[in-house]
Structure formats: structure tokens, C-alpha cells
């Protein structure tokens, strides 16, 4: 069987690049070219638009079948009921008892979501449990997470999940591909303390497509003895606020209006073009413009300590709490490192989660933003904390209300 | 000089062969009647050496071979998204073809090359999306017609 456009030599090249031996690949490609005595130029064009070689690892399953079974003696099983963001599931900050097997279930839902009510921009979102971001999962170091991932027959697409908190098989991505109507169960050990991104990664251009359609979230792995400051003193929080920042690349029509589609997946070709610009049309907290404002604003009290978890699976961001600080910040998300203290703004690398702890000292409305303020004000990356309590004039006071100069 | 001659000879042979064989066009569509995400036609019977031209009438589709759904010795192929691709089938047998982004939505087709009366027993043995499997089963009933 032959193709009109022969890419055989390039395939050799690509495979070798995957193995990391670029030189061998180049040599193979050159040898192939010489033997065929054909011009090189036409083939060079092919390389550019070729999808990235990030694909399903089919070999994972085979290598697993001969492996020793995991020793699960002594592990108690507990179910964790996942809840919608910005809330966190019930959990202990300091673990009691031995490591456990934590059972969680996620149902994948493809659903039409309004991104911005003002413009009517919408997206057929791809979601874990119906929310953008997906639910927060919490475990302690040494625990197992046992996930049942369900892809109902009502969905159109293939999905899977890659946990940055896990080890092997593309973060579980290689073992969790589910077609509509299928479910799978994955168990992995939480070995590293921290907050970690998880996301869908079905292969090739489908990876960014799914991630920028909402399919990502955070897995938090607490140290068994809880969070600590740099001197080892325990740090506890009163509540968790879980923020997922989502960059959307929504296709527009020839008039610049956002396009709408009949079903999930219909926007695939347009979305790939929009993603190639690398310029998001929206960057929002928890699925939509304004989702964490008004009715959705986060409520807190003066004296309350809040752990703010911020996930961005795809793109760099820089959370800032206007009028407050990060008392303790795990910018990279690793609880294995001492937290930084007293930060104004912290940096979350695309493809990671970070955490910042703050004890509110003044009442009022705080804006929590991506401090690229263009993204905060124009693309949607703003949320609100509404804090109740007594004003402290010792910290700030309006000495003179605005008045005419010189009066 | 020798190289030029060899190339010329090779080209002549290839073109000569292609001229006698047929090229069949298959459309890749978002919708056809009640069905969404389809190859049209989704079953073709061709002679050894014939070519199929896969045409993306709608954007976002490609055509590629499916591992273990082709006769032994046949080479896999993979068209680019939203790009036309021509594939010449030189080995007799039954081939499964998928559109990668819409595989889970059942966008598959069957190509029967040469004088084949039935697909191998394990043709549908691999892991297939339920909708793709159903469409393959329907397509395979055309083999004996």
C-alpha cells in the first residue's frame, strides 16, 4: 500500500525522536532519502503541521499483566464524596490511622456551558463531574486513590485522565482511555505531598482540545501530619477555596461573533485553529466570567484562615488577592518545600496547581485576580471574597474622606 | 546520470500502473441524513491497486488505518486533519479506516480490496468504541452482496 505523499522516512525520524535519539533519527531519515533518490524539499513541509507524538501508550497494559499484585493488606477503604468547586470534600488535615484506599467516582459530562452572559459566548465543555474545573480530590501521602472513571453512552468522545500526582503510565492516562458507554478503575499511590493538576489527555491535538474545554482539576496530597511552616510549626486552615483558572479559545465567525455549535466535538476543527493563536478569548475562574462573584462570591470572616488552591492546567498565571496577601504560599504546589511568606502575588506555572494561605484581617470585598490585569478585567479572571467582621483602624483608616482640595 | 534514469524509470512504472487502476472518492462529513460524523460511502469494494481519495468536505476530519484491522503486510497510513489524502491499496483484504478525532463517535469505514468474501474472524476483536463497532458490523454485511 502506498500513499501519494510518502512520509515513511519521516515516521522513522519521529519514532527515534520519541526515544530521544535525535541523531539516530536524522541519520535514518537521511539514509532513507539517499536510497530513494528523491528530492528532499517536499517532505520538509510535512513535518510542520504533523501532530505532536504524544500518544496512547498501548504497551502499558502488557507490561502491567506480568507485574506483581500490589500488597493492600492493612489498608482500610473509605469513600470520598466529591463536591463542586470552589468547595472541598470533607477531609482531615492531619491524618488519623494508617494509610487508606480512598475511593472516588467521576462521571464525565459533555455539556453546553455559557462562558460569558454578556456576549452569549458558549462552549460544549468537557467536564469531570459536570464542573469546570473538575472536583478537588484530597488524600494524604501514603494513601491510595482508587478512581472509577465513567464515560456515559450519552457522551460523544473518548476520554481519560492524567494525574500529575501519580507515577507511571502517563500519569494513568495510558490506562484510563474510556469510550462512551465504558468505565475504568485506576488505583495509584499518593507519594508526593502537594497540590497537583489532573487533566484529560486522549492523544495528539485532542489533549489541548480537552484541556481547554474544561477537563482539568486539582488533586491535593497533604503530608500525614498536616501543613507546616518553614520551622515545622503546624499550619491549619478553616476552609479551602478551590479556584480553577480556565483559558478558552472560542472560535469566531467572519463578523467576529462567537460561534455556537450543535453538539460536543463539532467545534473541533475551528478550536484547533483558535488554539494555534495561543491567545485565549477568555480566561475565567470556575468555568465562566463572574462565576466567583455576586451569588458565587466566596464568603469568609475576619480571623478565618483560608487555603486558596489555584489550578491552571495549560497556561501561566499570577494570582493576587487585592487588599490581602499570601501569608504562606506554596507557589509550585509542593508541600515538601517550606512555604514562602508574606507574598503580594504568586506565580502558578501552566500545568500545575499552587496553594496560598491567608488569614483575613479586615472586612469588605476582596478581588482575587490574575494580576495580568488585562486578563482579570477583560478576559474574566476575577473572583470575589466577601469578608464579614469588624474594621481595624489600626491597620487602615480613611483619615480624610475625598473633599475639594484647599477647602 | 544513473540516478536520474532510475528515477525516471520508477516514475514511469508508477504512473503507468496508476493510470490503469481506478480512483474512488470518499467524502468525510459532519452529517449525512440522520447520521453524524460519517465517511460516505462507508463501504467500498475495490480492486488491488485501486486508490481511494479521502476528501474532507467538512473540516476537522482525517482518514487513517486502524492497527490490526488490515491484512498482513499492508502498511498503515495516516492522513492529516482537514487535508485530502490518497491511499493506494496494493494488498488484498479487508481494511478498517477511522477518522481519529471522531472515532468514538463512530466515524469509521470498511474497504474491501480484491476478491474477499469475509473479514478475518478477529477483525472486530480489538477495543472499539461501541458506535464504531456497530457501524463496522453493518458495513461488513455488504461483503457478500
What spatial distance separates the first Cα and last Cα of chain A, rounded to whole Å? 90
Task: Establish if B9 belongs to a structural domain.
Answer: no
Size of the A and B interface in Cβ pairs below 8 Å: 72
Domain that holds residue B112: 22-144
Chain B residue numbers touching A270 (CB-CB < 8 A): 59-60
pLDDT tens per residue, chain A (407 residues)? 444 444 444 443 333 333 333 333 333 333 333 334 444 344 443 334 444 444 444 445 556 778 999 999 999 999 999 999 999 999 999 999 999 999 999 999 999 999 999 999 999 999 999 999 999 999 999 999 999 999 999 999 999 999 999 999 999 999 999 999 999 999 999 999 999 999 999 998 999 999 999 999 999 999 999 999 999 999 999 999 999 999 999 999 999 999 999 999 989 989 999 999 999 999 999 999 999 999 999 999 999 999 999 999 999 999 999 999 999 999 999 999 999 999 999 999 999 999 999 999 999 999 999 999 999 999 999 999 999 999 999 999 999 999 999 86
SS (H, E, C) chain A: CEECCCCHHHHHHHHHHHHCCHHHHHHHHHHHHHHHCCCCHHHHHHHHCCCCCCCCCCHHHHHHHCCCCCCCCCCEEEECCCCCCCCCCCCCCCCCCCCEEEEEEEEEEEEEEEEECCCCEEEEEEEECCECCCCCEEEECCCEEEEEEEECCCCCCCECCEECCCCCHHHHHHHCCECCCEEEEEEEECCCCEEEEEECCCCCCHHHHHHCCCCEEEEEEECCCCEECCCCCEECCCEEEEEEEEEECCCECCCCCECCCCCCCCCHHHHHHHHHCCCCCEEEECCCCCCCCHHHCEEEECCCEEEEEEEECCCCECEEECCCCEEEEECCCECCCCCEEEECECCECCCEEEEEEEECCCCEEEEEEECCHHHHHHHCCEEEEEEECCCCCCCCCCCCCCCCCCC
Task: Establish if B6 belongs to a structural domain.
Answer: no
* Residue-level length of chain B: 145
Q: Residue A192 burial (CB < 10 Å; 0-12/13-18/19+)?
A: middle
Comparing CA positions, the residue from A165, A159, A162 lying closest to residue A219 is A165
Measure the CA–CA gap between A214 and A326, rounded to whole angstroms.
27
Q: What is the pLDDT of residue A407?
A: 65
Task: Establish if B123 belongs to a structural domain.
Answer: yes
Answering whether pTM is above 0.90, one says no
Please tell me if residue B134 touches chain A, with a CB cutoff of 8 Å: no
The catalytic position among A106, A146, A206, A210 is A210
Comparing CA positions, the residue from B126, B133, B91 lying closest to residue B112 is B91
Task: Establish if B51 belongs to a structural domain.
Answer: yes
Task: Establish if B94 belongs to a structural domain.
Answer: yes
Task: Establish if B3 belongs to a structural domain.
Answer: no
Q: What is the pLDDT of residue B4?
A: 53
Query: Quick check: is A176 catalytic?
Result: no
Crossing angle of helices A22-36 and A8-19, rounded to 10°: 170
- What's the total number of domains in chain B? 1
Please tell me if residue B75 touches chain A, with a CB cutoff of 8 Å: yes
Interchain CB distance below 8 Å, A180 and B90: no
Residue B10 has pLDDT above 90, yes or no: no
Please tell me if residue B55 touches chain A, with a CB cutoff of 8 Å: no
Task: Establish if B16 belongs to a structural domain.
Answer: no
CATH number at residue B61: 2.60.40.420
Amino acid at each position: 500500500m502506498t500513499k501519494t505523499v510518502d512520509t515513511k522516512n519521516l515516521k522513522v525520524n519521529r519514532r527515534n525522536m520519541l526515544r530521544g535519539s535525535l541523531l539516530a533519527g536524522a541519520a535514518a531519515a537521511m539514509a532513507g532519502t539517499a536510497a530513494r533518490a528523491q528530492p528532499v524539499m517536499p517532505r520538509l513541509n510535512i513535518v510542520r503541521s504533523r501532530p505532536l507524538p504524544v500518544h496512547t501508550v498501548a504497551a502499558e497494559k502488557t507490561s502491567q499483566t506480568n507485574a506483581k499484585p500490589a500488597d493492600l493488606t492493612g489498608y482500610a477503604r473509605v469513600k470520598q464524596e466529591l463536591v463542586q468547586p470552589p468547595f472541598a470534600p470533607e477531609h482531615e488535615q492531619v491524618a488519623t490511622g494508617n494509610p487508606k484506599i480512598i475511593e472516588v467516582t467521576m462521571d464525565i459530562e459533555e455539556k453546553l456551558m455559557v462562558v460569558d452572559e454578556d456576549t452569549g459566548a458558549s462552549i460544549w465543555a468537557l467536564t469531570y463531574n459536570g464542573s469546570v474545573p473538575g472536583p478537588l480530590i484530597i488524600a494524604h501521602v501514603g494513601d491510595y486513590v482508587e478512581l472509577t472513571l465513567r464515560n456515559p453512552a450519552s457522551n460523544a468522545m473518548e476520554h481519560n485522565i492524567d494525574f500529575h500526582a501519580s507515577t507511571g503510565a502517563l500519569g494513568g492516562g495510558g490506562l484510563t482511555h474510556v469510550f462512551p458507554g465504558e468505565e475504568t478503575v485506576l488505583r495509584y499511590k499518593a507519594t508526593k505531598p502537594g497540590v497537583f493538576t489532573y487533566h484529560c489527555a486522549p492523544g495528539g491535538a485532542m489533549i489541548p482540545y480537552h484541556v481547554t474545554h474544561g477537563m482539568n482539576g486539582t488533586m491535593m496530597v497533604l503530608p500525614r501530619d498536616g501543613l507546616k511552616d518553614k520551622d515545622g510549626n503546624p499550619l491549619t486552615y478553616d476552609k479551602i477555596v478551590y479556584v480553577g483558572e480556565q483559558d478558552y479559545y472560542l472560535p469566531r465567525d467572519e463578523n467576529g461573533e462567537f460561534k455556537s455549535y450543535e453538539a460536543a466535538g463539532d467545534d473541533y476543527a475551528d478550536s484547533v485553529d483558535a488554539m494555534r493563536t495561543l491567545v485565549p478569548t477568555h480566561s475565567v475562574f470556575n468555568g465562566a466570567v463572574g462565576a466567583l462573584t455576586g451569588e458565587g462570591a466566596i464568603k469568609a470572616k475576619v480571623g478565618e484562615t483560608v487555603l486558596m488552591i489555584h489550578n491552571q492546567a495549560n497556561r501561566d498565571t499570577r494570582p493576587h488577592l487585592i487588599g490581602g496577601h499570601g501569608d504562606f504560599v506554596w507557589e509550585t504546589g509542593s508541600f515538601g518545600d517550606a512555604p514562602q511568606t508574606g507574598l503580594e502575588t504568586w506565580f502558578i506555572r501552566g500545568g500545575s496547581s499552587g496553594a496560598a494561605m491567608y488569614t483575613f484581617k479586615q472586612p469588605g470585598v476582596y478581588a482575587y485576580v490574575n494580576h495580568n490585569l488585562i486578563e482579570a478585567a477583560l478576559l474574566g479572571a476575577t473572583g470575589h471574597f466577601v469578608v464579614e467582621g469588624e474594621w481595624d483602624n489600626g491597620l487602615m483608616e480613611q483619615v480624610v474622606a475625598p473633599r475639594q482640595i484647599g477647602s | 546520470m544513473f540516478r536520474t534514469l532510475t528515477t525516471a524509470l520508477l516514475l514511469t512504472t508508477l504512473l503507468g500502473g496508476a493510470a490503469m487502476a481506478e480512483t474512488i472518492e470518499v467524502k468525510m462529513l459532519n452529517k449525512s441524513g440522520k447520521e453524524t460524523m460519517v465517511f460516505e460511502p462507508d463501504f467500498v469494494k475495490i480492486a488491488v491497486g485501486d486508490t481511494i481519495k479521502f476528501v474532507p468536505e467538512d473540516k476537522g476530519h482525517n482518514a487513517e488505518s486502524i492497527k490490526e484491522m488490515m491484512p498482513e503486510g499492508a502498511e498503515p497510513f495516516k492522513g492529516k486533519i482537514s487535508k485530502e489524502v490518497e491511499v493506494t491499496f496494493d494488498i488484498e483484504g479487508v481494511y478498517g479506516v477511522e477518522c481519529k478525532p471522531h472515532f468514538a463517535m463512530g466515524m469509521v469505514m470498511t474497504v474491501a480490496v480484491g476478491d474477499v468474501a469475509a473479514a478475518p474472524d478477529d477483525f472486530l476483536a480489538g477495543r472499539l468504541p461501541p458506535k464504531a463497532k456497530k457501524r463496522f458490523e453493518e458495513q461488513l454485511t455488504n461483503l457478500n452482496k
